[in-house]
Chains A and B, each alone.
Chain A
C-alpha cells in the first residue's frame, strides 16, 4: 500500500483516476442501500418534476423516476456496456494483433488493411445503422455486442505494433533457440511483457465503448426502458428539461458522465506512463 502511494506521488494521474472511481463507488453504494433499484429507477416510482429535496436528493424526472436511483442503476448499466464492449474488443484485437504480427505474411496484410479501411469510416455512423436495424429488440447486452463489433481495430493496431517490436528482441531469440514452441513463447514470454499495454488499451477501449453507448442512446437508439446514463440524457433532450428549468434532471447524469470520463482519461494517462515511463508527463 505504501509503495503504491509513493508511486502515485510520481504518477498523479493514476491517483486522480482511482480517486474518481472511489468517489463514484461510494456515491453509488449509498444509493444502492437506500433504494429498491428495480422500482425507483423506473417510471411512476415517485411524483414527477420534483426538484432536489431531503426526500428526493437529486429530484425526480417528468416520468416519475427518482434520479438518485436512476444514476446508481445507470452508472452500473453504462459501465457494464462499456466494460463488456471494451473486453470483447480488446480480446479480439489482441488475438488479431498477435496473429498479424507473429505470423506476418499475407495474414498480416489482410488484417492490417482491414483495420486501416475500417478506421477511416466513422464508427458511430456504422453503429447507428446496425442499432437502428435492431432497434425493436434492443437490450443492454445487444448494445454492448453491437459496440464491440467496431471496438477491436484500435487494440489490434497497438498490439500488432508492440508484438512487432518485441519479436526481434534478443530474449525472444533466446527463447526460440532454447526450444520453446509458439504457444509457450506467446503466453510465457510475450504476454507478460504486454500486460501494461493491455491494461492501457483496455482503458482506451472501455472509454470508447462508453462514449459510443452514450452517443447511440442520446440519439434514441438504446434500450428505451433501461435507466442508463445515455438514455437519461436522451430523455433530458426529449422533454427539453433545461428549457423548463429542470436543471437537476440534466445535472445528475452530466456530472456522473464527466466523472467517469475524467476518471478513465486520468487512468489511461497514468497507465500509459506506467507502460512507457519515457513519455513526457504533460498533465
Chain B
C-alpha cells in the first residue's frame, strides 16, 4: 500500500522530531545545579567590573521572562508549541536576538560549502569508483583510491589543520580563514563573489579529500557486480559505444546504492563540517555552535542542534519518498 507507506514514513518523521524536542527539553533540566540565567548574569556583571547587588531581582525577572517560573508540564507544552512554530527562543549571550535569526545569518555559509563539498566529492568519487572497476580505464587511476581512502579515515577538521598550515600559512595560496576578507562588506558584485569562492576553497577541499574515497569504494563494488550482468554483455554485443555502455548501462544502474549511502552519511558530514568551520573560522553554523559552547549560550546550542536534527530529518524524509521515483525497482509494497 503506497499511501500507507507514505503516512507511516511521515509519522516516523514526527516521532523523531518529538523525540529530539523532548531530549532538548528534558536533558538540560536533568543536569542538577545548573542555572544558565544566573551564570550569564554573573559573567556579565564580572565583565562590567562590578557585582550587582540586585542580582536576585534580575534573576527572578528573567525567570519570569523566559517562563521558567511556570510548572514543568506547562513549560513543556509551551516549549513544544514554540518549537513547532520554529521559535527556538532567544540567545543568552546576544540577548534580544532570536536563535532562529542567528541560525538564519549563518545558514547560507554552511549550505554553500557543505553542498559544494557533497556534490563535488559524490560526483568525483562515483565516477572514479566506476572507472576503477572498468577494465578499459587507465591503470594509473587504480592507485588513487587507496590514497584517498587513507584520507577518509581521518576526520575532516584534522585534514583542515594540515591544509591551513601548508596552503595558507606556508605557501600563502589561500586565505588563512574567515568567509571573506576583513574590511569588505558582503555584496553581490563579481569581485566579492570571487573572494567568497576563494575563501571557501580550503574548507571545502578538506571535506572533499576526506569523503571522495568512500564514494569511490562503494561505487567500485557495485560496478564490479554489474559487469557480470547479461544486459552488459548484450549492450556490448549490440556494438554500442564504450561511453554509452559505461554511463547508460553501468553507472546508471550502479548509482542507486550510492544515493542511499548519501542519505545515510549526511548526518556525519554535517557534524564534521561544523568542526571544519571552527578550524577555518568560517562564519557558518558550526562556528556559531562552537562560539555558543565557549560562551555558555545554552539556548543557542540547543536551538542549533534541534535545527540540524530537523533539517536532516526533512532531507531523509524527502529522499525516502523520492527513491521509488529514482529507482522503479524499489517498491514499498513488500516492505
Question: Which A residues lie at the B interface, using CB under 8 A?
Answer: 117, 120-126, 128-130, 132-136, 211, 214-215, 218-221, 233, 236-237, 242-243, 245, 247, 250, 254, 257-258, 261-262, 264-265, 280, 282-283
Which residues of chain B have C-beta atoms less than 8 A from A134's C-beta? 31
- Interface 0/1 of B249-283, CB less than 8 Å to A: 00000000000000000011011101100110000
Which residues of chain A have C-beta atoms less than 8 A from B316's C-beta? 120
B165 → A minimal CB distance (Å): 5
Within 8 A of A (CB), among B224-251: 224
Question: Which B residues lie at the A interface, using CB under 8 A?
Answer: 12, 15-16, 19-20, 23-24, 27-28, 30-31, 33-34, 145-146, 149-150, 153-155, 157-158, 161-162, 164-165, 169, 176-177, 217, 220-221, 224, 267-268, 270-272, 274-275, 278-279, 289-290, 293-294, 296, 298, 301-302, 305, 308-309, 312-313, 316
Which residues of chain A have C-beta atoms less than 8 A from B224's C-beta? 280
* Distance of A258 Cα from B301 Cα, bound (Å): 29
A56 → B minimal CB distance (Å): 20
Known: A120-B316, A133-B34, A283-B149. A258 touches B158 (CB 8 A): yes
Known: A125-B271, A211-B155. A133 touches B28 (CB 8 A): yes
- B146 touching A283 by the CB < 8 A rule? yes
Closest to B266 in A: A122
Top 10 closest A-B pairs, CB basis? A122-B267, A265-B153, A124-B271, A133-B31, A261-B153, A125-B305, A220-B293, A133-B28, A133-B27, A283-B146
* Distance of A46 Cα from B294 Cα, bound (Å): 27
Known: A122-B312, A215-B271, A219-B278. A243 touches B305 (CB 8 A): no
A264 → B minimal CB distance (Å): 8
* Distance of A126 Cα from B33 Cα, bound (Å): 21
B15 → A minimal CB distance (Å): 7
A26 → B minimal CB distance (Å): 21
Known: A122-B267, A129-B24, A129-B305. A215 touches B275 (CB 8 A): yes
